[in-house]
Amino acid sequence: MTFNDFNDTDAGRALLRLLSRGHAVVAELQRTAEAVDASALNEPRLRSVLPDFVVFRTEGAIDRVANGPEKMELDEESRELNLDSSARIFRVLAAIKKYAIDLARLIDDIDAGAFVGYSLEGILRDGQGACLLPEAVALLGTMLLVSDQRLPGQTRERALVLFYRCTVGTSNEPEDFADVCRLFKSTGRPEDLATRKPGYPESYFSRFLLQKEAIRLVIGKLQTGDIYEASRHYPLPEHRSHGLSAQAGLLYVCLFFEVKTLESDFMAMREIVDRYFGDSWVVAYALGYTADLMQMWATYPAAKQAIGNAITGSTVRQLQERHQERLADAQAKLKECLLEGVLTEDYVSSKTPQLLSLLREANTSIRWLLLQPTTNDPKLEAVCKISARMREEVLGALVDTALLEDKVKGILIPLVSNRQANWLRLQEEAAQAMDDLAVYFSGQHALKRKVRNEELEEFFRSLQQRIEELSLSSQEDMAALGRKVSQVDKALDEVAFFHEVSQQPQILHFLSDARQLLQRMLRTANLNEEMLGTIETVADLSYAWHALAGYKEAMGNLLATSPESVKGLRALFLKLASILEVPLRRIRQSGNESHASLVSNYYSAGLVQFMRSVLQDIPRLIFQILAQLATLNASVSPVAWPSRISFAELHSYAQRSESASIEVGKLTQRIALLMRGIRETDVAVLGAILVEPKEVLVDGLRRELAANIEVMLAKQSFDHLEASLKDLADQSRRLRGSFEHVQDYLGVSAQELWRAQFGRVVRFLLHMEQHQLLGKRGRAKSSPDHDPSQPIRFPDGKSSGGSFLSRCMAKLLELTEPKSCSGGFRQDWCSSGGALDSLVLQQLMEAVASPGIAAMSKLLALKAAGRVRKVLQGGTALLGDPEHSRAVLKASRARSSEALRVCAASLASQVGPLASVLSSLGQIMLLQRRLTALLRLHGSLDAPLINKSLGVLDGTALVESLEEDAETEVDGELPSLWDFVDSSSIAKEGQLRFRRKLAKTGELHGFAEPLRQLLLVIPEDSAPNGLDTLLALALVQYVAEKQRQAPSARRTSTWTAKAPAPTVGTEAHVALSAGLASFLQQLPRQQLHGTFQVCGFFIQGLCSEEAGSD
């Protein structure tokens, strides 16, 4: 039986299918853990409606979880936040359970002889079977350890209880829910594993029953065998533990299924530690997951004794010093190999064994220095702590190693793939050289007819024949090939000493060339796939999936000091892509494309994210330089030149300007150098994702620009509106100007990038503010403008608990408070606290631009909707009282102004607050109206063509909508708006999407009319009877109070110097009128007519009284 035959058997295919599914489950488990918001599942406020498994112990308790109005509201919020996460958690836990059941069944079937010719012992004797079966067992243990680490017990239990409450009694109710709960109930795993209770994790593993004999066989094979044949790639004894590291990870996990070995088998544990963990106690057992054996084996006597004897402070210190010395020597050799022009095809093919040895030495030392210092043992951590300088040296060696591996593979891969063709070409050239020499000594050469030596002619003919007979076709030929080529080479060396040959320099040179061809033939013959396999094996960096996170700062420093190091980091990222080989090897062998896509996409996305986080230091450096440029540009020229200036002052300014210009040039050159490193870096394929360095840079610039905009906006408190707006506008102008100064070096449009990111930040903050205003908990990821790699803070840390939008809006509302200011409809607002006029609004436009003003307008509309709801609820409550209802009914029958005044006076204490809320609503609508007018003005001035085009589209869409509602006949030959839209959008859904997009675009141009805006849909039958009369009475009471005031009364407020106090009769009661008009806009038409009718009777009565008095 050959090495690959087992994969083609039923047993091999069954194991491969199981492993393929298992790796897909592990990837989905980690994806689920990243998607789940653990803080939402464990939030104290929602804990009463998110119980754990305790709720199952009391009969009927599950039905009383959301008992009561308050709990029902919390339960509704909890389901909205956590239902999707709970469903994902259940599905992935159910997948782990199914994997465990299928694995146990497969082992039982093998042991029962269901696979003819194979038993557990027979599979473990087979080379490939000895890899697959231990991997399948260890993969189950990996799932359990990862699930308990990434999805803690309390989180699992609360998610499962919520999932049960949402699915019980429905078609989605799972049948295996009880089994999942039994297997995955909380294990009590603490955050610090050093404080865990005895029995963990073996008690967790014991929930999943596997055949004990099979576990012992697997552990025995891992304990004594070399299932991956690591000795082929790591021949030196000091590299043994590194070569067996993958096998050591499997053994570490499998031992928890057979805990007796850890507890009491002292001989076996001593053998295991001596073989695998004699010089390394931090073991990588999965992609990105490591375990400290000093900590994990502390509760097992046999394991603790074995690892304690091998790993001590003195041995760790010796090991660290040894690896540091080896790494220093290896790095010096790496630098020599990476010099320009050293790595040629001839050099690589002739020095391949030496290069492999260098890579092996460097990678083993890097592995130890990366992995072992992450220990959790306090004593060992103090011994092998890595300093910042040593961290930079390790990173430098890692980058150089990755570069050398990348370059050597780039040379070896085509040489190995074209080995046969190159061999035939070299063989033909060498045979032709022998033929040329034979012709030369035959005397028939055109230029040397007198030179004739039959012996030499025959000699070279025989060498030609021997060269032509060489072959790479069989293994037997390969064994003798080196000897045959060496014999021909020796013969050519000896013939060079013949008198007739040694006296002819051109023949000696020809012989030298021929010998070089023979040596190249020999080097080509020695090339094989195993060399590439050795490079892939020793270059494996999957153990450092998370360990490299601690080197991000060192990578940033490397980029800052050496911009050309981007190439080296690219090679490092390609080296890190080796993590994909571990799960994908078995998935490819099983032939499952869906699993391959799922796993590859997950790990590739993680790789790209890590690469972006590292390269984000370049945009961060660029924006630090831009901040310096903004400061220099602001200090170069004064704000305003004086009319007269002395020569000394002018000379001082010129010196400052010159030094600033020099500094600007230096900073610009730094940006250019950073960009050169990016431009010279080739495209990289990380797993399944093609990464373009320039695109990574542009994305990084977007994120960093968004972060700077966020910080700039968050700093403004708006306690003093004008000062805050001026400061914000100045900061924006300086940063934007510096960005434009270097945009040609960056290869981006600064204005486009600025507008896009400013709009994104504002839209995200608006999304969160809207949820907060509605009293809901908004999740950042629910916003389409959320970027997980560059989150925007909300709230931003100010005492307001919101963002700059709410602070600025609160200040605007303070300046337009109806009780303390005048104006708003035709004139500016004026009050004792200041004025809100066109100059302030222009400053607002310069500070927050159209996106900010449009966002505030949306927030105002949402606030206005709350006021409408409050008026409706207040009116409904008033009319629900019988006494008040009778007074309103009486008023509806009154026809005189006096009778209406009496009715209004009887309800004065009730309708007064109603009028205040209507005034507040009117204040909001007037402010929104002014902001909309500001947007409309700047839209027509800054982008008149777009503004007019949008206006035409908006009008056309409105006309066609009215025609559709009226169901009128339309001439089919006339063009329609939808004739100019993509054909895929002609359907009703497409038209709706188009109208929404048109409305969204129109908001930035101020097309909306706030006073005509529908804020709340009130159906005909939902408005309470008498609401129209109640609104009229509120207006009557308000007018009556104003009539009782002295006609000559004047405001006592002290007006600011910005604007004079307006005439009271001109702008008085504007807010109430606007609020009433806006509220009536929301009511059914019948209620509108009723309000107008009562107001008409009152006005008619007032006119009659006036006429009677005359």
Looking at residue 984, its pLDDT comes to 47
Tell me the pLDDT tens digit for each residue of 37-66. 777 777 888 888 888 898 888 888 888 888
pLDDT at residue 197 tops 80: yes
pLDDT bracket for residue 990 (50, 70, 90)? low
pLDDT bracket for residue 979 (50, 70, 90)? low
pLDDT bracket for residue 3 (50, 70, 90)? very low
Structure tokens at 493: 């060396």
Helix, coil or strand: residue 1064: helix
**Nearest Cα to 777, choosing from 78, 163, 165, 66?**
78
Do the beta carbons of residue 803 and residue 713 sit within 8 Å?
yes
* 830 membership: H or E segment, kind and range: strand 829-831
Helix, coil or strand: residue 836: strand
Report d(CA 818, CA 823) in Å as an integer.
Answer: 9
Mean pLDDT on 340-344: 90
Looking at residue 1061, its pLDDT comes to 43
Strand partners, 1037: none
* 158 membership: H or E segment, kind and range: helix 153-167
Tell me the pLDDT tens digit for each residue of 663-715. 777 888 878 877 777 777 767 777 677 777 788 888 888 888 888 898 899 88
Looking at residue 982, its pLDDT comes to 52
Report d(CA 796, CA 195) in Å as an integer.
Answer: 37
Do the beta carbons of residue 847 and residue 935 sit within 8 Å?
no
Report the phi/psi class of residue 970: left, alpha or beta, with left for phi > 0 and alpha for psi in -120 to 50: beta
| CB-based burial, 218-250: b 16+ in 10 Å, e otherwise | bbebbbebebbebeebbeeeebbbbbbbbbbbb
Looking at residue 1055, its pLDDT comes to 36
Report d(CA 297, CA 304) in Å as an integer.
Answer: 5
Mean pLDDT on 596-624: 86
Report d(CA 1028, CA 892) in Å as an integer.
Answer: 9
Tell me the pLDDT tens digit for each residue of 766-792. 988 888 888 777 777 778 888 877 788
Neighbouring CB atoms inside 10 A of 931's CB total 23
**Nearest Cα to 919, choosing from 803, 1041, 801?**
1041
Do the beta carbons of residue 629 and residue 667 sit within 8 Å?
yes
Mean pLDDT on 387-396: 90
Strand partners, 286: 289
Looking at residue 975, its pLDDT comes to 52
Choice among 372-386, 570-584, 1055-1069, 1094-1108 with the minimum mean pLDDT: 1055-1069
Do the beta carbons of residue 342 and residue 404 sit within 8 Å?
no
Most confidently modeled range among 406-410, 613-617, 1027-1031? 406-410
More confident residue, 1087 or 138: 138
Report d(CA 293, CA 376) in Å as an integer.
Answer: 9
Mean pLDDT on 633-653: 67
**Nearest Cα to 274, choosing from 224, 219, 220?**
224
CB < 8 Å & 24+ apart, contacts of 126-131: 126/1, 126/6, 127/3, 127/6, 127/227, 127/229, 128/3, 128/4, 128/5, 128/6, 128/7, 128/12, 129/6, 129/11, 129/12, 129/15, 130/221, 130/225, 130/227, 131/227, 131/228
pLDDT at residue 962 tops 60: no
More confident residue, 1093 or 13: 13
Q: Treating both helix axes as pointing N-terminal to C-terminal, what angle do 388-417 and 352-371 enclose, rounded to 10 degrees?
A: 140
pLDDT at residue 206 tops 90: yes
- C-alpha distances in Å from residue 876, one per residue of 330, 885, 917: 84, 10, 14
Looking at residue 1050, its pLDDT comes to 43
Q: What burial class does residue 990 get, using C-beta atoms within 10 Å of its C-beta: 0-12 exposed, 13-18 middle, 19+ buried?
A: middle
More confident residue, 509 or 149: 149
Strand partners, 685: 690
Tell me the pLDDT tens digit for each residue of 310-326. 999 999 999 999 999 99
- C-alpha distances in Å from residue 1035, one per residue of 115, 537, 915, 1040: 91, 85, 7, 9
For the chain, report the end-to-end CA distance as a whole number of angstroms: 123
Tell me the pLDDT tens digit for each residue of 278-318. 999 999 998 889 999 999 999 999 999 999 999 999 999 99
pLDDT at residue 720 tops 50: yes
Report d(CA 162, CA 159) in Å as an integer.
Answer: 5
CA 238 to chain centre: 40
More confident residue, 679 or 750: 750
Q: Treating both helix axes as pointing N-terminal to C-terminal, what angle do 882-893 and 1027-1044 enclose, rounded to 10 degrees?
A: 80
pLDDT at residue 382 tops 50: yes
Looking at residue 159, its pLDDT comes to 92
More confident residue, 678 or 154: 154
Looking at residue 445, its pLDDT comes to 59
Amino acid at 932: T
Mean pLDDT on 174-188: 92
Structure tokens at 1035: 């207006």
- C-alpha distances in Å from residue 103, one per residue of 107, 135, 139, 248, 827: 6, 11, 10, 21, 80
pLDDT at residue 492 tops 70: yes
Tell me the pLDDT tens digit for each residue of 1054-1067. 333 344 444 433 45
Q: In the 8-state DSSP scheme, what is residue 690?
A: E
Mean residue pLDDT across the chain: 83
Neighbouring CB atoms inside 10 A of 94's CB total 18
Do the beta carbons of residue 510 and residue 436 sit within 8 Å?
yes
* 822 membership: H or E segment, kind and range: strand 821-822
- C-alpha distances in Å from residue 8, one per residue of 3, 119, 128, 132: 11, 16, 11, 13
Helix, coil or strand: residue 65: coil
- C-alpha distances in Å from residue 849, one per residue of 708, 754, 931, 977, 1003: 16, 11, 11, 31, 13
Report d(CA 679, CA 674) in Å as an integer.
Answer: 9
Choice among 87-96, 502-511, 524-533 with the minimum mean pLDDT: 502-511
pLDDT bracket for residue 472 (50, 70, 90)? confident
Report d(CA 785, CA 548) in Å as an integer.
Answer: 29
Place of tokens 């293994």: 475
Q: In the 8-state DSSP scheme, what is residue 1048?
A: T
Please spell the DSSP secondary structure of 756-791, one letter per residue. Answer: HHHHHHHHHHHHHHHHHHTT----GGGSTT--TTSP
Strand partners, 689: 686
